[in-house]
Amino acid sequence: MKKNRLFENIIHGIFLILGLITIGCVLLITVYLVISGIPAIREIGIIDFLFGKKWASTAEEPAFGILPFILTSVYGTAGAIVIGVPIGFMTAVYLSKAAHPKVRTVIEAAVNLLAGIPSVVYGLVGMLVLVPGIRKLFNIPDGASLFAAIIVLAIMILPSIIKVSITALDAVPKEYEDASLALGATPTETFFRVSVPTAKSGIAAAVVLGVGRAIGEAMAVMMVSGNVPNMPSLFQSVRFLTTAVASEMAYSSGLQQQALFSIALVLFLFIMLINAALNFFLKGNKEG
C-alpha cells in the first residue's frame, strides 16, 4: 500500500515538472523578448518606430520605421484568410458531411501530407512556379510580391483550417441533423443552417490557427515576397515582420540588432492579441 502511494506521488511530481517546463519556456521567451525589445523602442521613440514608413537600418542616417512590415503582415495574413478560409471551410463541410467515406480518406490523406510539407518547400515551389507565373500573367517586372506571398500562405493555412473544422463538424450531434431532415430540410440546408452554426466556435478556432500560422510564417514568404521594405502593395516586393527579423539578424549589430528584437516583440504581441481576442470571442459563443 505504502509503496504504491509513493510511486503515485513520484509520477505526479514528474508530470508537474513537465508541465512547468512548458510554462517556463513561455515565460522565458516573453521576458527575454520584452527586456531585449524595449531599449530600441525607447531610443527610436515608439511613434517613430511603429508608424515610421522608412526602414533603412544600414544607411548612413539609419531609419527604423516598421509600419511597412506591420501592414505587410496584416495585409498578407488577411489576404491568406480571405482566400484560404472559404476554401478550407467548404472542403471541411464537404468532407465531414457529404463526401463518400473513400473520397474522404483520400482527401484527408492529401491534406495531412500538405500539413507535413516543410515551409521551405512551399517557398521553393512558390519561387520557381508561382513567382514567374505571376510575372507573366500580370506582366510586371518582378513576380516576387505580396500577392505571391498571399497565395502561398493561403495554401499553407489550408490543412489547419480543414482539420480543425472537420473535427468541429464531426462533433455536431447527429440528433440535430436528423431533426432538421425530419422537418423536411434538404441535406444542404441542414449542413448550413444546423451543422455549421453548431460548430461555429470550432470553426472560429480553425480560423485562429490559420491566422497564427500565416502571421508567424517566415521562410516561405521570404522566398516569394521579394523581401524589400516597401509599403505594401499587391504587386510589389514587400517584407513581413517575420522576414524582417530573419533576413537581417545574421549581420546586424548595435541599434539595428536591438530594433530587430523590438520587431520580434511586436510580432509576439500581435499573436498574443489575436489569440486573446478570438479566445474571448469563443468563450462568448459558448455562454451565449
Which residues in this chain contact other proteins in the complex, by CB under 8 A? 173, 175-176, 178-186, 189, 193-194, 197-198, 288
User: Torsions phi, psi of 252, nearest 5?
Assistant: -85, 160
Rounded to whole angstroms, the Cα distance separating 257 from 227 reads: 18
Q: Do residues 89 and 161 lie in contact, with contact meaning Cβ atoms separated by under 8 Å?
A: yes
**223: Cα separation from own chain's centroid:** 17
CB within 8 Å of 64: residues ≥ 6 apart? 40, 44, 48, 49, 52, 55, 57, 255, 256, 259
Our CB check for other proteins shows the closer of 173 and 254 to be 173
The CB-of-168 to other proteins minimum distance in angstroms stands at: 13
Nearer to other proteins, 22 or 186 (CB): 186
**Residue 20 cell numbers, joined:** 512547468
What amino acid is encoded at 75 in this protein? Y
| Nearest approach, Cβ of residue 45 and other proteins (Å) | 50
User: How would DSSP label each residue in 200-233?
Assistant: HHHHHHHHHHHHHHHHH--HHHHHHSB---PPP-
Nearest by Cα to 172 from 160, 182, 183, 180: 180
Q: How many Å separate Cα 10 from the centre of its chain?
A: 38
Residue closer to other proteins by CB (options 18, 182) is 182
Nearer to other proteins, 32 or 192 (CB): 192
CB of 185 to other proteins, least distance (A): 5
Give whichever of 5 and 286 is closer to other proteins, judged by the CB atom: 286
Please, is 61 exposed, middle or buried when counting C-beta atoms within 10 Å of its C-beta (0-12, 13-18, 19+)?
Answer: exposed
To other proteins, the closest distance from the beta carbon of 284 in angstroms equals 13
How far apart are the C-alpha atoms of 207 and 202, rounded to whole Å? 9
CB closer to other proteins, 149 vs 194: 194
Please name which of 23, 37, 35 lies closest in space to residue 267, comparing C-alpha atoms. Answer: 37
Q: Report in angstroms how near the CB of residue 92 gets to other proteins at its nearest.
A: 19
- Rounded Cα–Cα distance for residues 81 and 235 (Å): 18
CB of 202 to other proteins, least distance (A): 13
DSSP-derived letter for residue 238 is B
Distance in Å, CB of 101 to other proteins, minimum: 9
Residue type, 216: G
- Burial label for 23, CB within 10 Å (0-12, 13-18, 19+), is exposed
Cβ 173 to other proteins shortest distance, Å: 7
Q: Which is nearer to other proteins, 30 or 285 (CB)?
A: 285
Residue closer to other proteins (CB basis): 86 or 197: 197
